[in-house]
A and B are shown apart, each in its own frame.
Chain A
Amino acid sequence: MWFPPLPVVIPLIVAASLVAIGAYLPRRVLDLVACATAASVFAICCHLVAASADQPIVYWFGGWRPEHRFALGICFVIDQAGAGLAALVSLLVLAAFLFSWQYFESVKSLYHALMLVFLAGMCGMCLTGDLFNLFVWFELMSASGVALCGYKSEEFGPLQGALNFAILNTLGAYLSLTGVAIVYASVGALNFAQASASLAAHDPGGWLVPIAFLFVISGFLVKAAAFPFHFWLADAHAVAPTPVCILFSGVMVELGLYAAARVYWSVFAIPLAAHSSVTGALFLTIGTLTVIVGGIECFSQRHLKRLLAFSTISHTGVMFLGVGLLSADGLGGTAIYLLGHGLVKGGLFICAGILLHRFRSVDEFELHGKGRELPWTGLLLLLGALGLAGMPPFATFFGEGQLADSARRHGLGWVSGVMMLSGILTSAAVLRIGGRIFLGWGLRRPFDSDEAPAIPMESETHGGHRNTPGTMWLPALALIAGAMAVALAPSVRIAALRAAHRMEDTRGVTDHVLLGTPMAAVPEVHIAPALGELWKPAVNVACAALLALAALFPRALGRARRAVVHAIERAIHPLRAMHTGRVGDYVAWFILGVGVYGAMLVFGYRR
């Protein structure tokens, strides 16, 4: 069995080689090596998806197999959910490398090396079956992410964004590590399967398990930009180089969510089984708040990258809602949605990068009407907006349909309303900014506003280029087309549901890992009927278009204008006031958030 360690090991070794000899290689060789590495990791991950269709692959590093259900070493437990996510990760890394082919004028081997280490960390997170190992790859991802975020650190802005990123994520990681330590001190195990079995067999009592769970996932919640841990994300996205943003928004944030869900289903689901309604309520609360806050903030941005960052926050909220259903079909819907969102968001960030490449700005008002020269980029942006709104044939449509179906069957119909809100607000924001940039609609200057916090975008690219190279628009086209095509075949949706069933079968996985017992066959899965849901994207897009038009042409609102604008501003103001850019404030909100969510668990579990 050759393949399981390679998605992590190959990028690490290539990264080290690039640091060693990269200074002596021409730029194009660096690009080629990096692209080839990402492509081969993608191929290996696809192979792993196929190979784990029947049974999850359990790979014991160093050959330290468990004896008497006791794990001495570390294992990868590769199921289709993890391997599929790793495939998405490597695909987006490949797109990012292609995009940066012509994008950065001056970039050294350090960039390629950091991106490859980033890739290795993310793949490790997807595949691991060990609590501490998960933490290690999580940290590796964070450390390389911070460095990439501040890559243009000749300016003050990137440094600030990177520092906020580093501080918030390090704090979250401390809490995660505390949680891991509590689990280890309590049962003496780090392996997912062994910890789960031991916690279930010897319940430590009290609130130890729920609190350990909350601590472990806190770091992942920071990464997933859950409310109120999300503040760093927009700052980081606004300053990070565009190819890095593709990965931050497309997969890194989602990996935080994945890690939280993975840890829940692999370790805590059985010990917390009696209280699953409380755990579900926690995720649903987080999801709802995140959807609303992210959506409103998204609509109130004028900086395209920040806008897309907030849209990611809102969509992560949708995925939290899916996880919060705590059911296999909910999880499967989340997986489909995640796939669609990652591809769409990657494509949208490339569009933003094309604008930066051509005009050296991503500011809505600065670019007013300038996008007329770029009709195809405008079309991609429009398609992306439709993808965010959950329009068929985008995978987000099928994912949302699956989630809504699952929510209805759990008696949580309101969840699909919240999900629609996310689609409406985020696609309205993209439609509005697109209308202003690519059609020249609306005002040239912000309405009723005298502040102009234009964020200078220097040095990433010289801007003012005459044309858009194929290495830029092709990846964007491929990602958006991929988002449309990927879930069209029912077999993909069925595979996602089956993968979710496998991920949720905690007992089956535990025995498979510790004893080698084959897992029971996945029960027949039913994909939600998609056609009955067609009214939803129609409503989403109609509302989004209306909202975008109202924002573009506020005069058309006539006399009601002042009242409407005031009402909106009053709603938005407290949210924007929270977003101060000062890391001390973010830390305060983080601690308060952990405290409040912890109180929810403690009081909920007593009942």
Chain B
Amino acid sequence: MRHPGRMGIFFTGAAAVAALYALSAIRLPGPEDVRGEYMRIINGECVTFRHVTDAVTAVNFDFRGFDTLGEEFILFVSVMGTLVLLRQTDAKPGAWAPDALSPGRAVGASDALRVWILAMTGPTVLFGIYTVIHGQLTPGGGFQGGVILATAPLLLYLAESFDVFRRITSHRYLEIVEAVGAGAYGVIGLLALFRGREFMANIFHLGKGGNDINLFSGGTIPVINAAVGIEVTAGFVLLLYAFLQEMLERKEAGS
């Protein structure tokens, strides 16, 4: 199709879809009138009955934990799918790879930047772990913390070289870790069946007495949260690894 024709079709359709959206949105309740029964109930229940203070994590890993199982596997197959799709051999030679990119050499950071990055790597790991394990208490959790953790090796790549990155993120192990993280979610859900409860029922010890809320309270919530953190970390490192590898191969094919 010629360009103007396509644009004409697209903008006609887009205008119609925008009009449809507007027609439906004007009927939504206003800001003072939010349909928030779910919000109120969850906020009441998550502290009293689940011993956690982050309602989002409680919804993700308990009330609607079955959704999150699916979402975790969406991430899982997306990573695997990207690895599958990136295996192409007819890579076009180095059209895009930045100049400083080569396996053995640093990216070209100045000494000041390297020192700063190396100093920051440890705190980044610590912050990632903190974000994961405080998931049920404060905003954060396995998904968010996992992404933070995955940036730590990337920092090393920026400061040092791809070889360093590769050494600490060996491919084979990462796939295993990712699979264990993803599978553990399903297995924890399955455990409830052996106790005669429904799948994903929170069967672990929730906490002592009324308001006992700490790093271990919440029963299965912190455990699932940790599994998700492991899966997300490994998945994102795998992705970064695959993309960097791809760029380097293109660079090599080009030079």
**Chain A residues with a Cβ under 8 A of chain B:** 1-2, 4-5, 9, 12-13, 15-21, 23, 59-64, 70, 72-74, 110, 113-114, 117, 120-121, 124, 132-133, 136-137, 139-140, 143-144, 146-147, 150-151, 153-156, 159, 162, 175, 178, 182, 184-189, 204-208, 211-212, 214-215, 577-578, 580, 582, 584-585, 587-596, 598-599, 602
Contact = CB atoms under 8 A, between A and B. Distances in A.
Contacts of A1: 198
Interface stretch (B80-88, B106-114, B138-146): B80-88
Contacts of B207: none
A591 B13 contact: yes
A167 B38 CA distance: 33
A387 B21 CA distance: 43
A573 to B, nearest CB: 14
Interface string B72-96: 0110111011011111111000000
B123 interface: no
B198 A591 contact: no
B199 A140 contact: no
Contact of B74 (A4, A140, A150, A589): A140
Contacts of A2: 193
B77 A144 contact: yes
Given A16-B183, A206-B23, A595-B13, A62 B63 contact: yes
A592 B176 contact: no
Given A62-B202, A143-B81, A153-B84, 19 more contacts: A5-B199, A12-B69, A12-B183, A13-B183, A23-B172, A60-B198, A74-B64, A114-B80, A117-B77, A144-B81, A155-B88, A185-B35, A206-B26, A208-B23, A591-B16, A591-B17, A592-B9, A594-B17, A602-B20
B168 interface: no
A585 B6 contact: yes
A578 B38 CA distance: 46
A139 B66 CA distance: 14
Given A61-B200, A144-B77, A156-B90, A19 B178 contact: yes
Nearest to A591: B13
Nearest to B39: A188
Contact of A143 (B10, B42, B78, B197): B78
B15 interface: yes
Interface string B225-242: 000000000000000000
Contacts of B77: 114, 117, 140, 143-144, 147
A214 B19 CA distance: 13
B71 interface: yes
Considering residues B25, B70, B86, B179, which has the most beta carbons from chain A within 10 angstroms of its beta carbon? B70
A74 B69 CA distance: 12
20 contacts: A1-B198, A5-B198, A9-B69, A13-B183, A17-B183, A20-B179, A21-B176, A61-B199, A62-B199, A63-B198, A114-B81, A147-B77, A153-B84, A156-B90, A188-B37, A188-B38, A208-B28, A215-B20, A595-B17, A598-B16
A592 B81 contact: no
Contacts of A595: 12-17, 20
Contacts of A124: 70
Contacts of B78: 143, 147
Given A12-B73, A13-B187, A159-B88, A110 B16 contact: no
A5 B201 CA distance: 12
Interface size class of B (residues with CB under 8 A): 35 or more
Nearest to A204: B27
Contact of A584 (B6, B14, B36, B83): B6
Interface string B180-192: 1011001101101
A113 B14 CA distance: 38
B249 interface: no
B29 interface: yes
B41 interface: yes
B63 to A, nearest CB: 5
B24 to A, nearest CB: 4
Nearest to B220: A62
Nearest to A599: B16
B84 A74 contact: no
A136 B16 contact: no
Contact of B186 (A16, A147, A154, A212): A16
Given A185-B35, A188-B37, A208-B24, A63 B197 contact: yes
Given A143-B77, A595-B13, A159 B29 contact: no
A110 B84 contact: yes
Contacts of B187: 13
Nearest to A61: B66
B67 interface: yes
Nearest to A117: B77
A74 B76 CA distance: 22
B194 to A, nearest CB: 10
Contacts of B89: 154
A121 B132 CA distance: 27
Interface in B41-74: 41-42, 45, 62-67, 69-71, 73-74
Contacts of A17: 179, 183
Nearest to A130: B67
B66 A62 contact: yes
Nearest to B36: A188
Nearest to A113: B80
A187 B33 CA distance: 11
B76 to A, nearest CB: 7
A59 to B, nearest CB: 7
B13 A592 contact: yes
A588 B2 CA distance: 12
Nearest to B23: A207
A593 B27 contact: no
Contacts of A189: 38
A175 B13 CA distance: 14
A19 B175 contact: yes
B73 A186 contact: no
Contacts of B178: 19
A344 to B, nearest CB: 29
A175 B85 CA distance: 26
B62 to A, nearest CB: 6
Contacts of B100: none
Ranked nearest first, the 4 interchain pairs of A and B with the lowest CB-CB distance are A595-B16, A147-B81, A16-B183, A188-B35
Given A156-B90, A205-B27, A206-B24, A16 B179 contact: yes
Contact of B13 (A132, A582, A593): A593
A528 to B, nearest CB: 38
